[in-house]
């Protein structure tokens, strides 16, 4: 019982037949299959699916409520008042809406930071998507936990319950240095090590954060994290914009992974541009993330790759920086590696997390190098199919695993309901 | 005989019925129509179509040949060797491929600079798209003309022949200050005034250009153009990145229009970011363009709006700059105004250049403000229909005016043929 994708273009522009069994790419162009389920690859391109390494999936309910504001206003006027009403139900419907978009965007896996992760798991497992799910920890009350201690208990229970799931990996997410004191950061790291969890943290996203940490501790953020024993190979730092070269060397030394979120950084006007050339030079594993759609405002990893490439080029006045092939690798293979999956390549022995692209569109002609096209010309709207863990979730633009229309409509009603609790009637 | 679009969401999120007759939006929510042709607007949003004010449409044949190079290498190794072989036939097929993409991207009109404009007109008129078409003038031979005098003759003939077309407006395009001497610039302006043409020119795209002009003339580009009497309300300057405040004031004084091309500027690593806040402050009419797909690499005006907004915000460390509503106006109404059309608004009396958006997708939920969604969440893949000059060119994602598949295939064959003359066999 397997899946055969016939006559599809591979990332190196060869025609191939790809055989998937269980959840693995078993063979490419080996004629010995039992072709139980055949997908016609004609006029299609197969790519590794994206690994989106920084999201707040359930915040999909907050998309586009207000825009073009200072971060402080946006948090105080919208996000925090909305999050006062956040509960398991809203988290589920936000994850469902976000999850449907992930499928349509060719994203196989996310590293997510939010609350009520049981509910996020429920939505992702129903949809067939992977999630590395980190309950967010604050030094103050969260929508889910009155105290950090309560939050740690939630993390531990979640870690035990979801220990052996195929699609879900428990994680822990101390929110940031400015919102977690040292004790909390250390305790989070200790729990992560005990349960084998990935630690997700927002790091040096804004210059405000750097000043704040320096004021409080007399150290820059990475220096502080090093001094308290936090830095390690199981740490995934999101944003990582405002860093010195010394800090980047420190991240490299401890094999900390970085999630670069260019669209969110530019949109929120963090200022500066993530120091990618130095990260590359010193050997930091850089991955790509969209952040939540409340600050993006979509999960389009094609757009994210392009903005990554062109913002790096312009910032350094050098068009040879962030070449298409390496940008694509950052968005796929590097992300998979950071999250602990053998995926991100269309190769035998890799996980069958694959995207099918409809090549039959004028903006994808002429068809020379598929990766160049993927980074500079494609968008999520070109995604025709998605296979995750060997299972087709969408084919011919039709989502196979759930009734998309019904769920989308319900999720939107829930978004409106939440909106009206804070912002007034939807006009 | 008219077109009735029933029950569609307007840009201000009202449900409306829109009646089009001839090429004009005749009425909105007036129940007195003779509904000859009905378009179901259910779950759709209507927006004004885009006016893309800087393209090299026929260079669509050059999409993605090589990337991530210095501009000089890219020109010397690819563009110029390819352009040695450019002829009427390639220009036609490039324009056809590009034109199909324009339709799928919701673009009603372009301001184009290239060669063999008879052929570009032919393609655009067949497709039903508007073009303000400027034959490019150099001080050296072009693919079309041995001398500037020959090029001027071509412009004059084109201006006479296309004087009264509905969709095509002749224009003249002295390429840039660094590739046209003063006499040529003045002669181009003189011909433009005589025939009532828009003058398109590349202006201050790179810092190299500014240095070069200063070296040659002892003046900055805008100062030079002012001193030779070139600046005027019929001038459309593309790029306009490297300007002083004094130069921006000068552009405003003469009512020169600007085409901002953020994706191309970032991708080619021009460095810096177009001084939009100052243009706005001093009253320059800013419009939006994609540039050619050889340096973009698509005609996605949604992407262009988003990159415009987020690059401005980040560059000035201020998220309140380039708000969604003004960015959208720049891409639609401002563009139409610069090109001399009363379009860019869904309002009675405006030209019926309209886009239909398929709202039935998770990345467009929840549906609050349509313009916020358009700028930050949509992409060209959401375009479901396009009406230009009152004529539906695409409905339900199907191009109605030509056989898209057949033309796309032919155009790709032509692209490969041209590629092989310079680059070797397509692998």
Q: Where are the domains of chain B?
A: 2-48+343-398, 50-339
What integer pLDDT is reported at residue B161 of this predicted model? Answer: 97
Q: Which residues of B touch A293 (CB under 8 A)?
A: 363, 377
Reported as type and span, the H/E element at residue A89 is helix A88-104
What integer pLDDT is reported at residue A71 of this predicted model? Answer: 82
Cβ–Cβ contact B377 with A under 8 A: yes
Question: How does pLDDT run across B281-306, given as a tens digit for each residue?
Answer: 999 999 999 999 999 999 999 999 99
pLDDT, averaged across chain A: 96
Q: How far apart are CA B65 and CA B71, in angstroms?
A: 14
Question: Which of B67, B381, B415 is closest, CB to CB, to A379?
Answer: B381
Q: Which residues of A touch B15 (CB under 8 A)?
A: none
Q: Which residues of A touch B318 (CB under 8 A)?
A: 269
Chain B segment 102-121 residues within 8 A of A by beta carbon are 104-105
Is A278 labelled a binding residue?
no
Residue B10 banded pLDDT, cuts 50, 70, 90: very high
What integer pLDDT is reported at residue B35 of this predicted model? Answer: 66
Q: How far apart are CA A354 and CA A343, in angstroms?
A: 9
Is residue B47 within 8 Å of B355, Cβ to Cβ?
A: yes
Name the residue in chain A with its Cα closest to that of B320: A68
Residue A74 banded pLDDT, cuts 50, 70, 90: confident
Instruction: Quote the minimal CA–CA distance from B369 to chain A in Å.
Output: 7
Question: How does pLDDT run across A122-178, given as a tens digit for each residue?
Answer: 999 999 999 999 999 999 999 999 999 999 999 999 999 999 999 999 999 999 999
Name the residue in chain B with its Cα closest to that of A100: B362
What integer pLDDT is reported at residue A72 of this predicted model? Answer: 83
What integer pLDDT is reported at residue A313 of this predicted model? Answer: 97
Residue A290 banded pLDDT, cuts 50, 70, 90: very high
Q: Which residues of A touch B61 (CB under 8 A)?
A: 366
What integer pLDDT is reported at residue A35 of this predicted model? Answer: 65
Q: Would the pLDDT of A297 be above 70? A: yes
Name the residue in chain B with its Cα closest to that of A408: B362
Is B83 labelled a binding residue?
yes
What integer pLDDT is reported at residue A10 of this predicted model? Answer: 98
Which residues are B357's β-sheet partners? B45, B383
Name the residue in chain B with its Cα closest to that of A296: B376
Beta strand B130-137 pairing with B15-21: unpaired
Instruction: Tell me phi and psi for residue A161, to 5 degrees.
Output: -65, -40
Q: Which residues of A touch B316 (CB under 8 A)?
A: 269
Domain covering B2-48+343-398, topology: Urease, subunit C; domain 1 (2.30.40)
Residue A38 banded pLDDT, cuts 50, 70, 90: very high
What sign for the dihedral angle of Cα A135, A137, A143, A145? positive
Report the candidate in A112, A71, A135 with the shortest Cα–Cα distance to residue A289: A112
Instruction: Quote the minimal CA–CA distance from B155 to chain A in Å.
Output: 29
Q: Would the pLDDT of B142 be above 80? A: yes
Is B85 labelled a binding residue?
no
Question: How does pLDDT run across A256-273, given as a tens digit for each residue?
Answer: 999 999 999 999 998 889
Cβ–Cβ contact B161 with A under 8 A: no
Is B205 labelled a binding residue?
yes
Q: Would the pLDDT of B31 be above 80? A: no
Name the residue in chain B with its Cα closest to that of A320: B68
Contact A382 B382 (CB under 8 A): no
Question: How does pLDDT run across A412-425, given as a tens digit for each residue?
Answer: 999 999 999 998 88
**What percent of chain A has a predicted confidence (pLDDT) above 90?**
93
Cβ–Cβ contact B366 with A under 8 A: yes
Question: Which of B101, B273, B314 is closest, CB to CB, to A363?
Answer: B101
Contact B297 A268 (CB under 8 A): no
Q: How far apart are CA B170 and CA B135, in angstroms?
A: 9
- SS3 of B354-372: the string is EEEEECCCHHHCCCCCHHH
Cβ–Cβ contact A371 with B under 8 A: no
Annotate B229-262 with b (16+ C-beta within 10 A) or e (fewer).
ebbeebbbbbbbbbbeeebbbbbbebebbbbbbb
Looking at the structure, give the CATH architecture of the domain made up of residues B50-339.
Alpha-Beta Barrel (3.20)
Question: How does pLDDT run across B47-104, given as a tens digit for each residue?
Answer: 999 999 999 999 999 999 989 998 888 888 888 899 999 999 999 999 999 999 999 9
> What integer is the mean pLDDT of B406-416?
98
Q: Would the pLDDT of A33 be above 90? A: no
Contact A380 B363 (CB under 8 A): yes
Which residues are A48's β-sheet partners? A354
What residues contact A328, with CB distance under 8 A and at least 6 apart? A305, A371, A374, A375
> What integer is the mean pLDDT of A177-192?
98
Name the residue in chain A with its Cα closest to that of B100: A362
Question: How does pLDDT run across A300-351, given as a tens digit for each residue?
Answer: 999 999 999 999 999 999 999 999 999 999 999 999 999 999 999 999 999 9
Show the tokens assigned to A297: 């405002």
Cβ–Cβ contact A166 with B under 8 A: no
Q: What angle do CA B179, B183, B185 make, to 5 degrees?
A: 55
Cβ–Cβ contact B28 with A under 8 A: no
What integer pLDDT is reported at residue A19 of this predicted model? Answer: 95
Q: Which residues of B touch A64 (CB under 8 A)?
A: 366, 368-369, 372-373, 376-377
Contact B376 A411 (CB under 8 A): no
Q: Would the pLDDT of B187 be above 90? A: yes
Instruction: Quote the minimal CA–CA distance from B288 to chain A in Å.
Output: 18
Cβ pairs A/B, distance under 8 A: 222
Report the candidate in B292, B260, B263, B289 with the shortest Cα–Cα distance to residue B58: B292
Name the residue in chain B with its Cα closest to that of A416: B366
**What percent of chain B has a predicted confidence (pLDDT) above 70?**
100
- Long-range contact set of residues A424-427: C-beta below 8 Å, sequence gap at least 24: A426/B368, A427/B13
Contact A376 B64 (CB under 8 A): yes
Which range (A89-98, B1-10, B91-100, B364-373) has the least confidence? Answer: B1-10
Contact A297 B376 (CB under 8 A): yes
DSSP B13: S
What integer pLDDT is reported at residue B66 of this predicted model? Answer: 86
Q: Which residues of B touch A380 (CB under 8 A)?
A: 363, 379, 381
Chain A segment 30-69 residues within 8 A of B by beta carbon are 60-61, 63-65, 67-69
Domain covering A2-48+350-399, topology: Urease, subunit C; domain 1 (2.30.40)
Is residue B205 within 8 Å of B175, Cβ to Cβ?
A: no
Is A54 labelled a binding residue?
yes
DSSP A78: I
Q: Which residues of B touch A373 (CB under 8 A)?
A: 64, 297
Reported as type and span, the H/E element at residue B398 is strand B398-399
Contact A270 B314 (CB under 8 A): yes
What integer pLDDT is reported at residue B20 of this predicted model? Answer: 96
Q: Which of A271, A366, A420 to mutate to test the interface with B (most CBs of B within 10 A)?
A: A366
Q: Is A36 exposed, middle or buried (0-12, 13-18, 19+ CB in 10 A)?
A: exposed
Question: How does pLDDT run across B228-266, given as a tens digit for each residue?
Answer: 999 999 999 999 999 999 999 999 999 999 999 999 999
Question: Which of B269, B318, B362 is closest, CB to CB, to A314?
Answer: B269
How far CA B288 is from CA of A268, B321, B339, in Å, comes to 22, 16, 12
Contact A71 B411 (CB under 8 A): no
> What integer is the mean pLDDT of B390-415?
98
Q: Which residues of A touch B419 (CB under 8 A)?
A: 366, 368
What residues contact B198, with CB distance under 8 A and at least 6 apart? B111, B132, B134, B169, B171, B172, B192, B234, B235, B236, B339, B340
Contact A381 B377 (CB under 8 A): no
Beta strand A391-395 pairing with A383-388: antiparallel
Cβ–Cβ contact A381 with B under 8 A: yes
Chain B segment 281-300 residues within 8 A of A by beta carbon are 293, 296-300
Name the residue in chain B with its Cα closest to that of A71: B319
Question: How does pLDDT run across B317-360, given as a tens digit for each residue?
Answer: 999 999 999 999 999 999 999 999 999 999 999 999 999 999 99
Q: Is A378 exposed, middle or buried (0-12, 13-18, 19+ CB in 10 A)?
A: buried
Contact B376 A296 (CB under 8 A): yes
Do the domains at A2-48+350-399 and A50-339 have one common CATH topology? no
Is B260 labelled a binding residue?
no
């Amino acid at each position: 019982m397997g899946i055969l994708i016939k006559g599809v273009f591979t990332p190196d522009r060869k025609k191939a037949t790809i055989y998937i069994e269980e959840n693995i790419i078993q063979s490419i162009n080996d004629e010995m299959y039992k072709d139980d389920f055949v997908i016609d690859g004609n006029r299609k391109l197969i790519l590794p699916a994206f690994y989106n390494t920084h999201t707040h999936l359930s915040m999909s309910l907050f998309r586009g409520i207000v825009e073009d504001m200072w971060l402080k206003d946006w948090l105080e006027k919208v996000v925090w008042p909305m999050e006062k009403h956040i509960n398991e139900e809203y988290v589920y419907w936000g994850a469902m809406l976000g999850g449907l978009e992930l499928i349509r965007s060719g994203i196989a896996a996310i590293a997510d930071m939010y609350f009520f992760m049981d509910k996020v798991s429920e939505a992702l497992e129903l949809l067939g998507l992977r999630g590395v799910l980190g309950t967010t920890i604050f030094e103050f009350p969260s929508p889910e936990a009155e105290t950090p201690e309560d939050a740690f208990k939630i993390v531990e229970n979640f870690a035990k319950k979801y220990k052996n799931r195929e699609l879900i990996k428990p994680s822990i997410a101390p929110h940031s240095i400015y919102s977690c004191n040292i004790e909390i950061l250390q305790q989070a790291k200790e729990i992560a090590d005990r349960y084998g969890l990935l630690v997700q943290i927002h790091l040096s996203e804004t210059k405000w954060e750097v000043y704040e940490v320096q004021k409080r501790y007399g150290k820059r953020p990475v220096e502080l994290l090093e001094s308290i024993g936090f830095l390690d190979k199981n740490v995934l730092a999101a944003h990582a914009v405002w860093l010195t070269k010394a800090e980047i060397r420190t991240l490299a030394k401890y094999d900390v992974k970085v999630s670069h979120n260019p669209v969110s950084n530019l949109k929120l006007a963090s200022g500066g541009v993530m120091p990618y050339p130095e990260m590359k030079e010193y050997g930091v594993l850089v991955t790509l993330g969209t952040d939540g759609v409340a600050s993006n405002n979509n999960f389009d990893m094609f757009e994210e790759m392009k903005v990554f490439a062109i913002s790096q080029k312009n910032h350094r006045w050098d068009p040879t920086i962030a070449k298409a092939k390496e940008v694509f690798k950052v968005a796929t293979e590097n992300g998979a590696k950071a999250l602990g999956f053998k995926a991100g390549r269309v190769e035998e022995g890799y996980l069958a997390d694959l995207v099918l692209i409809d090549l039959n569109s004028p903006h994808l002609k002429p068809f020379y190098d598929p990766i160049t096209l993927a980074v500079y010309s494609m968008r999520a709207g070109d995604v025709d199919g998605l296979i995750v863990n060997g299972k087709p979730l969408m084919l011919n633009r039709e989502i196979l695993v759930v009734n998309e229309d019904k769920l989308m409509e319900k999720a939107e009603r829930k978004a409106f309901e939440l909106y009206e609790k804070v912002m007034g009637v939807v006009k």
